């Protein structure tokens, strides 16, 4: 094994990725599997999740799909138990499932809309972390990554519930980093900028905008002058959960083309 293979070697590790049926989560599943991990694909989208598990398995890696809504505690608990039953252990949790919620000013947002975003983006991260920790501890340690956003670091005149939720999971990673360091469990947050995924494409369509035109306009606000792709984020997640990231905990990995550097 050369140095690069050693740094990113995930063979013998088991990773659970929420919201992994498409977008950033799907690319993360492909990337961790390519590094040798067995991957548990968790999502509410069964057709896409099953297809991805088939794609990864066909390439010779181990993958399985579980239909899971991260807001349902009993199901979260059961599924993490089943993952360990199937793959033998759990080493990595990537808390990636998320929704953007309505893009309206705060005073136009209903309490129900606000709570739905917090339910998926914050409570979902809490529930998955809560039920993954005992398994990761039993494996002798491991790592957790919370998908925050550049919107969890800087404000913007849009999606208020989303901003709040992403700031919450940023801090949850830091606190868990402190709480579980002695158990050899690392916790970090990743902060993507504008990444071309179904989430953003659907958001533009809902607003009656053509995604291609919207992305062309958005990239003018990015110092690197382009919109990111899921691979940009998956590479950062691989760094954090692999041996390369063994000394990294409580950190914020910003991958945003320079957006927040101003
Ligand atoms: P996406 O919508 O393409 O994928 C998100 C996945 O989460 C979907 O497959 C969806 O079905 C799943 N999901 C939603 N609610 C769920 C639930 N209750 N239980 C289980 N799964 C659920 O979005 P994406 O752009 O790939 O986003 C992935 C993560 O990255 C999100 O947390 C998002 O907030 C974050 N992020 C994305 C961007 C971006 O520009 N795309 C930027 C910053 C942060």
Looking at residue 133, what is its pLDDT?
98
Cα-to-centroid distance, 99 and ligand 1 (Å) = 6
Per-residue model confidence (pLDDT) at position 51: 98
Q: List Cα–Cα distances, 23 to 27, 64, 91, 187, in angstroms.
A: 7, 17, 22, 22
Which amino acid residue places its CA nearest to atom 31 of ligand 1? 98
- Residue nearest (by alpha carbon) to ligand 1 atom 41: 195
Q: Which of 10, 1, 16 is nearest to 35 (CA)?
A: 10
Residue length of the chain = 262
| Residue pLDDT tens, the chain, 262 long | 899 999 999 999 999 999 999 999 999 999 999 999 999 999 999 999 999 999 999 999 999 999 999 999 999 999 999 999 999 999 999 999 999 999 999 999 999 999 999 999 999 999 999 999 999 999 999 999 999 999 999 999 999 999 999 999 999 999 999 999 999 999 999 999 999 999 999 999 999 999 999 999 999 999 999 999 999 999 999 999 999 999 999 999 999 999 999 8
CA angle 196, 239, 19 (to 5 degrees): 45
pLDDT at 77: 98
**Choice from 16, 17, 19, 226 to test ligand 1 binding pocket (greatest atom count within 8 A of CB):** 19
| Neighbouring C-alpha atoms within 13 Å toward the C-beta of 104 | 10
Residue 109: CB atoms within 10 Å: 17
User: Which spans in 88-143 are helix H?
Assistant: 111-118, 124-138
Which atom in ligand 1 lies closest to the alpha carbon of residue 202?
A: 2
Which residues form the pocket of ligand 1, taking CB atoms under 6 Å from any ligand atom? 18-19, 21-25, 43-45, 68-71, 96-99, 120, 124, 147, 149, 192, 194-195, 197-200
């Amino acid at each position: 094994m050369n140095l690069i293979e050693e740094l990113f070697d995930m063979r013998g590790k088991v990773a659970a990725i929420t919201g992994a049926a498409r977008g950033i989560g799907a690319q993360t599943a492909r990337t961790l599997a390519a590094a040798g991990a067995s991957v548990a694909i968790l999502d509410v989208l069964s057709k896409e999740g099953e297809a991805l598990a088939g794609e990864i398995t066909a390439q010779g890696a181990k993958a399985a799909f579980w239909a899971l809504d991260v807001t349902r505690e009993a199901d979260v608990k059961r599924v993490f138990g089943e993952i360990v039953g199937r793959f033998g252990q759990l080493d990595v949790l990537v808390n990636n499932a998320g929704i953007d919620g309505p893009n309206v000013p705060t005073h136009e947002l209903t309490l129900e809309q606000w709570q739905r975003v917090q339910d998926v983006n914050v409570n979902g991260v809490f529930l998955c972390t809560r039920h993954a920790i005992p398994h990761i501890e039993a494996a002798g340690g491991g790592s957790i990554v919370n998908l925050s956003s550049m919107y969890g670091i800087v404000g913007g005149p849009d999606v208020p519930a989303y901003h709040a939720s992403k700031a919450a999971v940023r801090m949850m990673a830091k606190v868990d980093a402190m709480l579980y360091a002695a158990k050899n469990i690392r916790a970090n947050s990743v902060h993507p900028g504008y990444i071309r995924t179904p989430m953003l494409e659907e958001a533009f369509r809902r607003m009656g905008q053509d995604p291609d035109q919207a992305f062309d306009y958005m990239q003018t606000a990015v110092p690197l002058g382009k919109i990111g792709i899921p691979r940009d984020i998956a590479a950062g997640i691989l760094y954090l959960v692999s041996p390369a990231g063994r000394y990294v905990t409580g950190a914020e990995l910003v991958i945003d083309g320079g957006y927040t550097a101003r």
